[in-house]
Structure 1
Amino acid sequence: MTSLSITVMTLNLHEGEQPSESPNSWERRRDICVSVITSYSPTILCTQQGLRWQLDYLQQCLPGYEQFGISRKGSEDNTDEYCTIFYEKEKVELTEGGTFWLSESPSVPGSVSWGATAPCIATWAISFEPPGFSFQIVNTNLDEDSPRARRRSALLTWQHIASLPPNLPVIYCGGFNTQKESMTGRFLLGRSREHGVVGDMRDAWPNARVRKNVSLIHTYHGFKDGLMRWQDQRDGFGDTLPRTAMEGEKRVRCTAPLYLSILPFPMAAATQDLHIDWILFRGRPLVPALCEVINDNIDGVYPSSHFPIFAEFLLPRSVRLVETP
């Protein structure tokens, strides 16, 4: 019997308020954006930095999905960015959901702390995929500028996850705006402490049985003319993304060979990706079978300044699809 699975995509929509004549305007990107989503058909789609009218356009083009989420300024606002969770309504039932602010006042809409430059949120939803498999999805976009804000935001979100029943699987994804070897990443992945505690998340990328486009070590490309690859990387790790070195070659949906090269720079860089968009997970029932950096484009137009990340998680054998009478 074929194993059932959950597929997840994280997609930063990038700012939509660009002049229509810009080569990277939403009007030019929206078709490839929809094409990528429909091509991969994720069970769960987590978007970041989406504005209301961008999300409305996606909803119009994706009738098989429902969406959940509010603006980072609160439920009464429809002008600012959202961290939205789209889910296939024929496969997933949303049973509960909410939003909290990544600040010292997590229930106060628009609140900002720890040197963050703008409000940041985490949108969560508990979903039920018949028969009898519940899981929580957490979608976030951390502050771009403040390492302290990212660390404290990660701690706050992990505390939310840790408060859940231990047998409830969790998928935690979005834009973390830092690399996994940063203090933020090391905390979440259980390699360092933050305020005396250690995270226990796992990363779908290195744990997946199959990885695609491993040579694309950056998920942020910034609409540059080239894409960063293993052979081009010479930078070390920090808590910020080096956004200036983006040299490489341009591809149209190229799946790179699954190998790692021995490179003349620090061992961490040879064994770790430099992704700032992650799909993390927690819970033994989730087995990452596939993880892919998606670099689809149409005539050099990409859906975003970030490459989407796609992952497939196998479900336990005890989970079976119920056929409709």
Structure 2
Amino acid sequence: MKNSILAAFLFLFAFTASAQKEVKIMSSNIRMATESDGINYWNYRRDWFTDMVKFENIDVFGAQEVLYSQLEDLQNGLKDYGHIGVGRRGGNEGEFSPIFYKKDSFDVLESGTLWLSETPEEVASKGWDAALPRIVTWAKFRRKKDKKVFFFFNTHFDHVGTEARKQSALLIRNIIADKITKGTPVFVTGDFNVPPSSEAYKTMISDEGKSLKLLDAKLRAAKQYGPEYTFNGFEMEQKEDRDLIDYIFFQGNVTIKSYQVLDAQRGSKFISDHFPVIIEAQF
């Protein structure tokens, strides 16, 4: 009898594990296109970046600091991907925080853009002590293979306003809590412009207030690879004070199989002034 129960348990465990599918997710600040970057100017990096996305076989990714011309470059270089998002000043104006996804793998059920301010639906609104308007782009996806639904949020926090970053974290948590149902997988990618010791980071992973518990994928990964920091500033020399400021958070019945900071550089050239963060998530 005991052997039968054990066999049934092992079968159920194996069936559940096999039913879950892996999705490769990335967060990447691609650095806006400015000629002042010299050898690291976007025009010299764009093909490298799109080749990397295809080589790494990324399923869904959130990008930050994307100008409209760069968005067009990404569209042209990633024909198998669709994208979601608008510029932070409305339409095609200002920085985008777009979400890219494989069109053959996912359906977009809902999507939108909200502003990180006291008036989230007001286009180009600037919140608290922020220097610039900031946005969060979101989408509700359905995986075509098994009809599994999940949410994806992508953002870029302000680089100046300490209060704005904390309040933006609270706002994003509220937005997520209002949209999801219990147990639905959620992923949040972004350049948060803060280290793990900051109030904004602590707010993101807090379990206070809403019935929401976001987890840092880095801390839950079965295996990790790459440097401990994500911002490189296009500098070859490694510095002790370099920051981990790019994150992927998640919630739901999700297993993080791996976490990687992709320290991509070719000689003195970098893929961006931020290294991409890549995870393999199973759900």
What is the TM-score when the length of structure 1 is the normalising length?
0.77
**Contact 1:125–1:136 (CA<8 Å) still a contact in 2?**
yes
Q: Are residue 44 (structure 1) and residue 28 (structure 2) matched? A: no
Distance 1:280 1:56 in 2: 27
- Conservation of the 8 A alpha-carbon contact between 1:170 and 1:283: yes
Give 1 or 2: higher helix fraction. 2
Distance across 1 between alignment mates of 2:224 and 2:19: 21
The reply on whether 1:190 has 2:190 as its aligned counterpart is no
Q: Which runs of 5+ in 1 are unaligned?
A: 234-244, 247-273, 316-325
Residue in 2 aligned with 1:255? none
Aligned to 1:132: 147
Helix, strand or coil: the match of 2:165? helix
Partner of 1:156: 171
**Corresponding residue for 2:124?**
110
1:225 Cα deviation from its structure 2 partner = 2.2
Aligned partner of 2:155: which letter?
Answer: T
Aligned residue among 192, 206, 213 for 1:176: 192
For residue 120 of structure 1, the aligned residue among 107, 111, 134 is 134
For 2:237 and 2:48, the matched residues in 1 are separated by: 18
Q: Which residue of 1 aligns with 2:234?
A: 223
The Cα offsets for residues 36-83 of structure 1, whole Å up to 9 and x where unpaired, read as 2112121101110101111111111111101110000112xx231000
CA offset at residue 197 of structure 1?
6.2
Q: Secondary structure at the match of 1:180?
A: coil
How far apart, CA to CA, are the structure 2 residues paired with 1:60 and 1:166? 37
Normalised TM-score (structure 2)? 0.88
2:1 is the alignment partner of 1:33: no
Find the counterpart in structure 2 of residue 91 from structure 1: 105
Alpha carbons of structure 1 residues 133 and 3: separation in structure 2 relative to 1, 3 Å:
closer
Query: What is the rounded CA distance, in whole Å, between the counterparts of 1:226 and 1:38 in structure 2?
Result: 29
Query: Shift in Å at residue 299 of structure 1?
Result: 2.7
Q: C-alpha deviations, 1:19-38, integer Å up to 9, x for none?
A: 4x811211111122122211
Amino acid at match of 1:85: I
Which deviates more, 113-122 or 30-39?
30-39
Match for residue 24 of structure 1 among 17, 20, 40:
40
Mapping 1:1-325, distance limit 5 Å? 1=18, 3-19=20-36, 22-75=38-91, 78-130=92-144, 131-163=146-178, 164-190=180-206, 200-213=213-226, 216-228=227-239, 233=240, 245=241, 274-284=243-253, 286-315=254-283
CA offsets 1:229-275 (integer angstroms, 9 cap, x no match): xxxx3xxxxxxxxxxx45xxxxxxxxxxxxxxxxxxxxxxxxxxx52
Sequence identity of aligned pairs in percent?
29
What whole-Å deviation, never above 9, does each CA across 1:133-175 have from its counterpart, x for those lacking one?
0000000000011110000001000001111211321101111
Question: How many equivalent pairs are there?
Answer: 264
CA RMSD of aligned residues (A): 1.8
CA distance in 1, matches of 2:34, 2:109: 33
Q: Could you tell me how far apart the structure 1 residues matched to 2:19 and 2:174 are?
A: 35
* Kept after mapping to 1: 8 A contact 2:156/2:191: yes
- Conserved in 1, the CA contact under 8 Å of 2:217 and 2:249? yes
